[in-house]
Structure 1
Amino acid sequence: MSNFGKQLYIIRKHKNLTLRELEKLSGIKFVRIGRFENNMEKPTLENISKLESALKVKFEDYEKVTREIEALYKRFIDSLIYDMSDFDYYIDVIKKNEEVYIVNSFYSLIILIMYIINIHKNNLFDIKKIEKELDRLLEPKSDYLQLYYDYKGIRLYKQGQKDEAADLLASAITLANNPKQNAMIYYHLSMVNLSRNKYIEALKFAELAKNGFVEFASFRRILYTDGQIGSIYSQMQRFDLAIDKYITCLESNKILDTSLDIKALILRNLSWIYIKSGNYTEPLSYLAEAEKLDSENVNLKMYKIWCNYKLGKYNTARNLIEQYRNLNDLKSHKKRFQLFSGLVYNADTMPTLALIRSAIEVYEEFAVNRDHELMNFYIDIVIDLLKQRNDDKRLIQYLETKIKINNEINQQRNY
């Protein structure tokens, strides 16, 4: 039993025995037991037999459970790389066998599995307490620590700590040489760097991730990575390349067993790219298809209003605003919805100062986090309103700001 010492320690602790108490029960000196636990001395068969009698266990049974945990962990890794989305299966298995697993020396893998599931489900309450436990249990320079750092990076990213996330993910790559895990880390690095406006880095890591997914024939992950590459091109304002990528994703999705949510997301993202490129007719057909799959998506509703407004279909846009009045109750989209409503109801009239102020507030909301994509979209609205208002002083100010934004983007485009 390769992990005998660790297993002995866990069982002794679980039974609330000190080394001296176990000495009395087994007849083995407490110093030697300590050496067994720290892998400083290998126990003889006779020693093992005495310890089994004292602890009322069979170490062979723990070895079987260890193999079971290792098999479960391996299957879980595959479920991640092939995006099987079967987390409930693992929750059920772990819950059913919790009492057996908790006294096994490989219980840290069970904690790691549940940690990753919680990250995926956005159950971040008390997550740092779990991280503290994993920091203590996982061995350095191991595949397990690499996977933990990967998903700790995702946790940081989800909580807005993008730079810290990028640093941790970069260090995860150096911890082990597990090709499957590396592919996932590259994918996550691409995602995080895109959010940091590091487009060249994001594209590089996306290509590395795709190569890994191709090697393991993870067709869903290949699809997601192509979508990621399309989003990178979109933010770099390479709309032709972005559209090609997303159309490829639509074709791939036809032969893959992906969820309706994924197909709807692809359709919405493709529509958004067309909108950013100034094409407002093409998105409407894609949005109609997406609506059949997910009619309550907030972005879908906003895109429909915008396309009809830009096409001069003001009555349709007004009807949509009335239909989607509940968006006014969403904190995340309230200001944007009010802006769209103001634009639609004041179409073909001199924009009011209140409407311009509304547009500037929305722009500034995204400028705080340097979200180039939405900064560009909303600053164009501000500029258009200022032109209509003949407010040359502020118009020059925002035109200069737009140039600065595009210079930042162009620095990343010239690769």
Structure 2
Amino acid sequence: MAKVTYRKLDEHSLRFWGLLVLHALVIAAGLGAAWYMEHNGHVVTGMSNGIVWGLPHVFAVFLIVTASGALNVASISSVFNRLAYKPFARLSGVLAIAFLIGGLAVLVLDLGRPDRLIVAMTTYNFRSIFAWNIYLYIGFLVVVVVYLFTMMDRVMQRRHGYIRAAGWLAFVWRLALTTGTGSIFGFLMAREGYDAAIMAPLFIAASFLYGLAFTVLVLATMSSETQRQLLSDEMASNFRGLLIIFALVLGYFTAVMHLANLYMPNRQGVEAFILRDGGIYTALFWFGHVLTGLVLPVLVLLLPASVLSRRLGMTVASVLALAGGVAFIYVTIIGGQAYPLNLFPGMEVSSSFSDGEVLNYFPSLPEFLLAISGISIAMLATGIALKLLPFLPADGAAN
């Protein structure tokens, strides 16, 4: 393969600046919402003593999972030696860092007392998956920065062993990070909607799909801004195939998890809640996660080029997959908390504290503003990075 050259985002339309300003305004609104909730307390949110992880946590986990998957392209290039993906490896690393920063920012601001993060970072209970995740998140940032350095430094470029070693380290670390994120729920034995070891591979599969979907959307946006087609027909076909595979794998793990739960007598109640009787959670599962996030993207990608162009089809499928991804995380986090705790197995429980009852949750406007600000943080960071440093492939690099 010919030597790949990279460029900064020097040529772009006024729309680029407009998008950056829009993201900055959303971030400002999110910071204001965080201050409002911190100042007034959780009473101004839709959360309660039963549902303590709200919409901001949904988006934070979604972005953290996406960050791991955003490294897909770089891993395929360095670890699996598929040189056709090399022109997009730098962008892949930038997106991974940007999405993790966006997710962690929302997570920290949603704690209610962000200053207490110092305690979490200095006092560790290694029997808690949360303590391990602090190392995984910070370590991922460091590893990806080193990975980008090996790809961009001229000396390192001449020594491919360093790039490959950094690529392997980043690949293993990203799997550990997503395993840790999924295990937050898989290790929670008190919640019947969680407490499943398959949560780890389920989240890994989800990260592959959502990370690649965001990469496709960013490449489509940059192609529009630079008036250059960054994806060749061959690479567009490769990305299309990967999106189909990742969607099918995520669907497979979703089916396995729910079929296994249906097989277990003590899980049939929560499965009936999610799959049939859960109201908004059932609707989000079937119409959001399954239909919008899995079935429709595959159908769109399988359409012949005469009906829908390959690139437009990938863009539409990526948007659908990401929308389904938010629904999937929402059902997992909020639905898992809404289902009543089984305090006394085999007994009916009722009290003035709503024991044994399905909990209601409706996100407030401040929660929504803080949640979407995480995406704007990631996109603003990406836009600034592409403007300042050569992360995009130059003309002909992708052809």
| TM-score (norm: length of structure 1) | 0.27
The structure with the largest helix share of the pair is 1
Bigger relative CO (Cα 8 Å, ≥ 6 apart):
2
- Largest Rg, 1 or 2: 1
| TM-score (norm: length of structure 2) | 0.27
